[in-house]
Amino acid sequence: MKNLMKILVLNSGSSSIKYQLFDMLEQTVLAAGSVEQIGEEGSHLSHSLNTGQPGMRKTVRALPIADHRQGFQLITSTLRETGVLADPGELSGIGHRVVHGGEKFKEPARVTPAVLAAIRGLIPLAPLHNPANLLGMEVAMENAPAVPQVAVFDTAFHQSLPPHAYRYAIPKNLYEAHQVRRFGFHGTSHRYVAKKAAEFLNKPLTSLRLISLHLGNGASAAAIRQGRCIDTSMGLTPLEGLIMGTRCGDLDPAIIFYLERETGLAPGEIETILNKESGLKGICGVNDMRGVGELAADGNPEAQLAISMYCYRIRKYIGAYHAVLGGLDGLIFTGGIGENAAFIREGCCEGLAHLGLELDKGKNLAPRQGEAALESKAGRVGILVIPTNEELEIAEQTVACLREVKG
């Protein structure tokens, strides 16, 4: 196999394809962008090119894009026209984000007909995501048949959970017949920031006990011991766990039956409410944390309550994961909120000095770029901001998978 240099990472959604092209020898992004609103009015391509100067040169083209096949062809033609990829055959590999790998996939997998069939069989566990991920793989394989393709699974990092962490206290036959268990998500991000935290602390990952908080519109926590995830907050679906932008997080399951009886709502309608109308949006009417913070600063009591509930739920998980890890070496904030919302980081660490978590408020508020340590001098546990880079992690796992296949 030729040197593993150019890796294209694709994240295929139901009406979009996001992409990044990496030079893995330098670990730099050559180009990035997205095809949006496929098959809809207003479809367009956004493309950013690395020119070697600070920042990326961005262009937006509005044009009809009938389907994912045409979208992929548009991506490759744009990469060719901008001079970063003369032909798809130059690629050493294409890495695909796949949301759900179930119990079948604990590591990245070279895409084969058997792998595609297995991912298709997992559609009931991720009906909104796996079909689109499959479509992206099939289109890429049709258009670049000579390029090896690798599936990288959001759930794979959490497959190291022990049974006492992933099983639910329900009849065993429901687990065996329908895979009703905790799978967890955001695994690619949690894996990436854990590795980066070890590099930042200059300690072996295998020596560390870490709690990773991926806080964006979706949010999850992971307890990581010696580089392996031992517990995570999301469950069978991404609905469980922390309060999120529009998702409720942990909930008494009897609430669903109560609402069905008292309101006459159908199960699907309740599912939509819990996924799309709850969380921050349900509490204060706004799902973007920047907007919630602005409302709270203006004295809005619902927004202030939303922030209090959001941070309180996270503190509960920090305490629980501190217990199961038997101590803590680092708390990691990542994701759009974790990286940028100082007031959320402060709220999450409030009252946790007895666990060794003491935030330096000056460091927390200071402008920064990249990774940073925010703990005070008195703090016994590192409090870190580690920007996530799921696309680079997918590219790295693609390279590792292809090398393993070659070896």
pLDDT band at 3 (very low <50, low <70, confident <90, very high): low
Tokens 């967890």 belong to residue: 184
| Count of other CB atoms within 10 angstroms of residue 216 | 18
pLDDT tens profile 331-342: 999 999 999 999
| Across 201-206, average pLDDT | 98
pLDDT tens profile 102-148: 999 999 999 999 999 999 999 999 998 899 999 999 999 998 999 99
| pLDDT for position 407 | 57
| Across 224-244, average pLDDT | 97
SS3 383: strand
Residue 14 has pLDDT above 90, yes or no: no
- Identify which of 256, 258, 284 has the alpha carbon closest to the alpha carbon of residue 272: 256
Whether 67 sits among the annotated catalytic residues: the reply is no
- pLDDT > 90: what percent of the chain? 93
**N-to-C CA span, the chain:** 10
- Which CATH homologous superfamily contains domain 203-390? ATPase, nucleotide binding domain (3.30.420.40)
How long a stretch of residues is the chain?
Answer: 407
pLDDT tens profile 349-400: 999 999 999 999 999 999 998 999 999 999 999 999 999 999 999 999 999 9
pLDDT band at 324 (very low <50, low <70, confident <90, very high): very high
What sign for the dihedral angle of Cα 148, 159, 313, 350? Answer: negative
- Identify which of 112, 114, 117 has the alpha carbon closest to the alpha carbon of residue 148: 112
CB–CB of 7/91 below 8 Å?
Answer: yes
| pLDDT for position 54 | 85
- Give the pTM: 0.94
Residue 2 has pLDDT above 80, yes or no: no
| Count of other CB atoms within 10 angstroms of residue 329 | 20
Helices (H), 61-145: 68-81, 113-121, 130-143
pLDDT tens profile 140-178: 999 899 999 999 999 999 999 999 999 999 999 999 999
- Type of residue found at 13: G
| Count of other CB atoms within 10 angstroms of residue 3 | 8
From 23, 67, 87, 154, the catalytic residue: 154
| Across 75-84, average pLDDT | 94
Q: Which CATH number fits domain 6-153: 3.40.50.2300, 3.30.420.40, 3.40.50.2020, 3.40.50.300?
A: 3.30.420.40
Q: Which ranges in the chain are annotated with CATH 3.30.420.40? A: 6-153, 203-390
